């Protein structure tokens, strides 16, 4: 990125060590389970059987993942996979997995759906998806089986209180709702600030529903600089080699609001911990200082984008680039495994500027 196009709003934090992790869990689990609610950034297969454009169960997706194409929107691991490695957990089954019940639920479940949003209507033009509210209902539907498997009572309460919850939402509410005025009315009905408040109100209700069930450890992942994804860079709105600054600016209200929400929930609910992961700053650090992290391509995806797939996803069976470790983005929106490893490590051990008020490792020890 040329200096004239460097965007503001990022704190530059040097990542001293990137932990090398294997294709499976390491050591004894630090938490009993992880439950994931989110979109395509953390989907691990729930969208495979849906009638949707947003699918990733074909090559070249998964080219660097030990199981191949699984439905992960990456060449390899997602942020959740990296956190599973760091916490010593096995990779999570997708909620849609066949035969998922009883003891197979005990290590956690991934409910994320590719084109899902905080709002139920988000992403509907892409086809089927499972919104945040429905994902929470899906978790509630698994509670009877968890209660039977664990035994209920105090054992269940301790299990839920010690489990980790990862929530990754908001990206689609902007790129597949608010920023598509020809398909959705949200940009006509709300200013950027009001839209952020609208999203956070819905988001809060679902967090409180999960808290009421007994979950107590929450990582709330903020939005990345969406004005810098290849999809936006090629939109013609910004000069060549530049991010779309107006897109990045509108995300500020959501991210600031999400951090404030975590702080307020911590005050209102003693005994629980809500942490905000500052993905905007972490990914911004990479984009502003790519050579520090050994990246050389920050403005292009690593796979060819299929025109029949809303110009977001990899063309089926198309050979990806060979220098994937040097690319920040995998397709037109999703980061590569190399970036996910950095984001995961920063969420796990980062200082309060990366993850506030405490990091995932500290939460696991509570």
- Cβ–Cβ under 8 Å, residues 279 and 223: yes
Return all residues near 149 (Cβ < 8 A) that are at least 6 apart: 102, 103, 105, 106
d(CA 50, CA 303): 23
Strand partners, 167: 37, 220
Residue 182 is classified by DSSP as T
Active-site position among 44, 64, 331, 354: 331
Tell the burial category of 5 from Cβ atoms under 10 Å away from its Cβ (0-12, 13-18, 19+).
middle
Catalytic (active site) residue 331: yes
Residue 215 is classified by DSSP as -
Active-site position among 95, 211, 327, 334: 334
Active-site position among 40, 47, 74, 277: 40
Catalytic (active site) residue 299: no
What number of other Cβ atoms are within 10 A of residue 52's Cβ? 17
Residue 276 is classified by DSSP as E
Angle at 61 between CA 166 and CA 326, to 5 degrees: 85
- Cβ–Cβ under 8 Å, residues 104 and 360: no
Catalytic (active site) residue 173: no
| Phi, then psi, of 164 in degrees rounded to 5 | -100, 140
- Alpha-carbon torsion 167, 105, 100, 44, what sign? positive
Active site residues: 40, 331, 334
């Amino acid at each position: 990125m040329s200096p004239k196009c460097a965007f503001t709003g990022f704190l530059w934090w040097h990542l001293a060590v990137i932990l090398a992790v294997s294709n499976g869990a390491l050591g004894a689990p630090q938490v009993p389970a992880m439950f994931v609610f989110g979109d395509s950034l953390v989907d691990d297969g729930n969208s495979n059987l849906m009638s949707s454009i947003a699918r990733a169960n074909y090559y070249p997706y998964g080219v660097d993942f030990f199981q191949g194409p699984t439905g992960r929107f990456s060449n390899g691991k997602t942020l959740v996979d990296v956190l599973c490695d760091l916490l010593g957990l096995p990779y999570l089954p997708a909620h849609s997995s066949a035969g998922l019940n009883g003891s197979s639920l005990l290590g956690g479940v991934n409910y994320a759906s590719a084109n899902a949003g905080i709002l139920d209507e988000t992403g509907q033009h892409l086809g089927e998806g499972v919104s945040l509210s429905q994902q929470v209902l899906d978790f509630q539907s698994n509670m009877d089986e968890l209660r039977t498997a664990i035994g209920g009572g105090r054992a269940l309460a301790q299990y839920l209180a010690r489990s980790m919850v990862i929530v990754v939402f908001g990206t689609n509410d902007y790129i597949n709702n608010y920023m598509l005025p020809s398909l959705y009315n949200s940009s006509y009905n709300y200013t950027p600030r009001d839209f952020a408040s609208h999203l956070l109100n819905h988001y809060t209700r679902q967090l409180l529903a999960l808290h009421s069930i007994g979950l107590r450890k929450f990582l709330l992942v903020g939005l990345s600089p969406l004005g810098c994804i290849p999809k936006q860079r090629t939109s013609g709105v910004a000069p060549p080699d530049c991010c779309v600054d107006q897109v990045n600016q509108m995300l500020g209200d959501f991210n600031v609001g999400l951090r404030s929400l975590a702080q307020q929930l911590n005050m209102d609910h003693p005994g629980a911990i809500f942490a905000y992961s500052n993905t905007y700053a972490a990914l911004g650090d990479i984009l502003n200082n790519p050579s520090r992290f050994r990246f050389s391509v920050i403005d292009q995806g690593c796979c060819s984008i299929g025109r029949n797939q809303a110009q977001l996803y990899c063309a089926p069976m198309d050979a990806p680039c060979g220098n994937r470790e040097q690319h920040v983005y995998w397709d037109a929106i999703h980061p590569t495994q190399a970036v996910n490893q950095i984001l995961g490590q920063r969420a796990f051990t980062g200082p309060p500027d990366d993850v506030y008020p405490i990091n995932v490792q500290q939460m696991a020890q509570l």
